[in-house]
């Protein structure tokens, strides 16, 4: 495989906002605390669903939620929100971040809003850049009342979690599942289309964080795995969390504690099975199989975490990757202007924020607002100085698919609906890897 880190980023602007870790005497070390809260955001009225052709929901299979975890090391509070939605635009995240700053003085680098990417959930808020490619899907404006409801419920969940901080311990581990498969199918002439490709790259790793109270009772699990939420067919119009919701519900029943599902580099990754539904679209098909395929491996990974610690330090930082826009895109959404600029030589650039959360010296979670191809995340993880390096995809919004140069040449659906040029994967990998090395040197 080509090593992305050997490629030179076209333009990478890096800024550090690393939290300063105050050294306290051993007998006065701040106590690590954590909290969890959830709110139900299942719509009460029909909504336009994510993905496929325009379609309105009919009924509810299972509920959608905001789930919030707070990590507090005594110097820094970090807020992670996992929401059963398909995607949001960066400007929707910006709006929520500004509201949390005003109400609770939460800095935006300490607030991450991840979306599970179920395709059986409503479109919410500004569509961002997606209408550049799929304009027919957005001929009807998004439901402003539901978007406001989602934002209000997010604030409600954060406020509730802040009431329940307790002394806690944290542990980290790895798991593995074959619940996913590369979806870039190839014909004999290498023509590429949506399907299944068992010969292409995939990421089967499960990253797991367990948060428990001082008695060892779990407060929450955070599971990181790459998979599209597309098991339920486009003809099934029920609201559902799809794979992430099904798996979270199963794991929660087994352990008696909540699970936050944080999707990974899912850009070219599909669920191993998809549903064949009747014309009524009311069958669950193979969705329940993912309780075994992915739920059980998450439980096994949890059992293998044999040690947790109450000695926790958090660091947050961020970079902005500037990479050329796809040459044939001549316009840019007005509400996304903060995420674009033109270079001095006249090249239109996308400004993509990438965030980092370090936990002690061995855990690093990085996030980017895109549907990243797994080869990029796999390469970054394999070269990372941190033994536990997790990628949180489609977090704090999305710009859509970010494909590798090789896959762009092969065509297919994802490159067609991506705003990025062929250099974007190398630009991102270079910028992220350099930042990880910088952070690693700082801790020594």
Picking from 70, 84, 93, 77, the residue whose alpha carbon sits closest to that of residue 117 is 84
**pLDDT at residue 17 greater than cutoff 80:** no
| Per-residue pLDDT tens over the stretch 188-246 | 999 999 999 999 999 999 999 999 999 999 999 999 999 999 999 888 999 999 999 99
pTM greater than 0.85 (yes/no)? yes
Question: Encoding tokens for residue 71?
Answer: 């990590």
Measured distance CA(437)–CA(383) in Å, rounded: 10
pLDDT at 15: 36
**pLDDT at residue 2 greater than cutoff 60:** no
Asked if residue 83 lies in contact with residue 65, where contact means CB atoms within 8 angstroms, the answer is: yes
pLDDT at 353: 98
**pLDDT at residue 280 greater than cutoff 90:** no
Question: Encoding tokens for residue 347?
Answer: 């090249």
pLDDT at 275: 58
pLDDT at 273: 86
Band of residue 16 on the pLDDT scale cut at 50, 70, 90:
very low
> What percent of the chain has a predicted confidence (pLDDT) above 70?
91
Asked if residue 112 lies in contact with residue 80, where contact means CB atoms within 8 angstroms, the answer is: yes
| Per-residue pLDDT tens over the stretch 380-415 | 999 999 999 999 999 999 999 999 999 999 999 999
Measured distance CA(69)–CA(78) in Å, rounded: 8
pLDDT at 283: 65
Better-scored residue on pLDDT, 2 or 345: 345
Q: Of all helices (H) and strands (E), which one includes residue 96? A: helix 90-104
Band of residue 444 on the pLDDT scale cut at 50, 70, 90:
low
pLDDT at 420: 98
**pLDDT at residue 83 greater than cutoff 90:** yes
pLDDT at 29: 66
**pLDDT at residue 132 greater than cutoff 60:** yes
Decide: residue 171, CB within 10 A, 0-12 exposed, 13-18 middle, 19+ buried: middle
Mean residue pLDDT of the chain comes to 91
Measured distance CA(132)–CA(196) in Å, rounded: 27
**pLDDT at residue 26 greater than cutoff 60:** no
| Per-residue pLDDT tens over the stretch 305-335 | 999 999 999 999 999 999 999 999 999 999 9
Band of residue 123 on the pLDDT scale cut at 50, 70, 90:
confident
Measured distance CA(273)–CA(147) in Å, rounded: 31
């Amino acid at each position: 495989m080509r090593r992305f880190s050997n490629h030179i980023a076209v333009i990478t602007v890096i800024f550090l906002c690393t939290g300063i870790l105050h050294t306290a005497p051993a007998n006065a070390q701040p106590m690590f605390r954590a909290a969890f809260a959830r709110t139900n955001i299942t719509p009460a009225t029909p909504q336009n669903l994510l993905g496929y052709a325009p379609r309105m929901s009919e009924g509810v299979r299972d509920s959608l939620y905001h789930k919030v975890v707070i990590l507090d090391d005594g110097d820094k509070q970090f807020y992670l929100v996992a929401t059963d939605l398909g995607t949001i635009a960066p400007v929707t995240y910006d709006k929520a971040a500004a509201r949390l700053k005003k109400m609770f003085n939460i800095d935006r680098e300490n607030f991450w809003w991840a979306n599970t990417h179920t395709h059986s959930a409503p479109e919410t808020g500004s569509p961002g850049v997606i209408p550049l490619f799929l304009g027919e899907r957005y001929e009807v404006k998004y439901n402003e009342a539901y978007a406001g409801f989602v934002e209000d419920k997010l604030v409600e969940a954060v406020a509730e979690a802040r009431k329940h901080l307790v002394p806690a311990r944290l542990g980290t581990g790895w798991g593995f599942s074959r619940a996913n498969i590369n979806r870039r199918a190839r014909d004999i002439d290498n023509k590429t289309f949506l399907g299944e490709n068992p010969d292409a790259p995939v990421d089967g790793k499960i990253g797991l964080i367990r948060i428990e109270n001082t008695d060892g009772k779990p407060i929450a699990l955070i599971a990181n795995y790459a998979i599209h939420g597309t098991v339920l067919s486009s003809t099934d119009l029920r609201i559902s969390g799809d794979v992430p919701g099904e798996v979270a519900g199963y794991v929660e029943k087994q352990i008696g504690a909540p699970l936050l599902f944080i999707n990974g580099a899912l850009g070219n990754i599909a669920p191993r099975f998809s549903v064949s539904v009747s014309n009524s679209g009311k069958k669950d098909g193979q969705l329940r199989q993912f309780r075994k395929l992915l739920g059980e491996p998450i439980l096994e990974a949890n059992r293998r975490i044999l040690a947790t610690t109450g000695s926790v330090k958090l660091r947050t930082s961020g970079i902005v990757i500037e990479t050329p826009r796809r040459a044939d895109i001549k316009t840019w959404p007005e509400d996304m202007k903060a995420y674009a600029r033109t270079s001095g030589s006249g090249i239109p650039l996308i400004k993509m924020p990438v965030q980092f959360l370090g936990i002690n010296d061995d855990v690093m979670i990085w996030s980017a607002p895109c549907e990243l191809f797994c080869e990029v995340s796999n390469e970054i993880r394999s070269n990372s100085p941190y033994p536990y390096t997790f990628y949180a995809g489609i977090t704090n919004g999305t710009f859509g698919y970010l494909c590798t140069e090789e896959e762009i040449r092969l065509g297919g659906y994802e490159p067609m609906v991506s705003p990025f040029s062929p250099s974007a994967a190398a630009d991102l990998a270079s910028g992220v890897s350099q930042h990880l090395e910088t952070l690693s040197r700082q801790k020594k």
